[in-house]
Structure 1
Amino acid sequence: MSKPAPDLSDLLTDIPRAGVRPLPPDSSARIAAAAAQVDQACLRVSLNGCQDKTELLQRFATAFAFPDWFGHNWDALADCLGDLEWMPTHGYVLLLEHAADFRATHPEEFDTLLGVLRDTSRQWAADGLPFWVFVDLGPNAH
């Protein structure tokens, strides 16, 4: 007999498993509710219609309420995501929504973004907090 699947709120508190994962279809609301249940910050960044790296970074700055010193480059994104002292919580959940078009039109920038997010998740895990990223690549993602 197989082991039952872990409850979503249990999964979100499992620090070693935290990282960048595909967003299952129609699961945003369930993930957000589970994050609230375990007192984790749940943030949404939509890449719908995002034209370039500059706009992508601005969307992160807005969603995470980055400080004025945010430099709008990859290093500054990593620095801000790795700090978040202005947003104390028991963990972080990022829903990266509508990412398929940006991935298709800006593959290098998208790969760089995922690298920053993976590194951020590992950094937070080393500090004892989960940092989850669920990436919405649409129904035909592979």
Structure 2
Amino acid sequence: MAGDPPPAVTRVDPARAASVVERWREQHPGGAIVRLRADRALDRTSLFAEVERALSLPPWFGRNWDALWDCLTDLSWLDRPAYLLVVTDAEQLLRDSPQELPLLLELLRAATAAWASGPVPTAFATLLVTAAGEASA
């Protein structure tokens, strides 16, 4: 439906990624656009390191799923009105640990819901830039 919010996690073809990001930027002035390189997030350990780098996570980040949840649902150190996580080369994401991908995607979806239902509803979305095409993930 036209009034429905966009999906929490969306796949987009690289040829359209720039226009999707630009449209998001126009809809969310001052929002943070954070780029995560999936080619640097091939397993759980490297994923946590890449997310830590991309989001400038605080020193207390424990490099585990619970700590990632805590950080994704806080982001107070970025202090922005909205957040877009752009994952480039997303087909590489957790390539060496494919069993971890559903957990990550669910965590991102749940973070979107948590931000949307918080005291100050806030946009939080993830864009998976992948040659696999466009769809909700």
TM-score by length of 1: 0.79
Deviation at 1:108, TM superposition (A): 1.3
Equivalent residues, number = 130
Distance in 2 (CA, whole Å) between partners of 1:131 and 1:116 is 12
Pick the structure with more strand per residue.
Answer: 2
Query: Does structure 1 conserve the Cα–Cα contact (< 8 Å) formed by 2:86 and 2:127?
Result: yes
1:115 offset after TM fit, Å?
1.0
Q: 129, 132, 136: which one pairs with 1:136?
A: 129
C-alpha displacement of 1:90: 1.9
- Residue segments in structure 1 that go unaligned for 5+ positions in a row: 1-5, 7-13
Larger Rg: 1
Q: How much identity, in percent, do the aligned residues show?
A: 28
The reply on whether 1:31 has 2:31 as its aligned counterpart is no
Aligned-CA RMSD value? 2.3
Structure 2 partner of 1:67: 58
Contact (CA 8 Å) 2:116, 2:123: kept in 1 or not? yes
1:22 aligned partner, one-letter code: R
Distance 1:134 1:51, change over 3 A: closer
Shifted more, 43-52 versus 75-84: the winner is 43-52
Contact 2:12 2:133 in 1 (8 A): no
Structure 2 match to 1:101 = 92
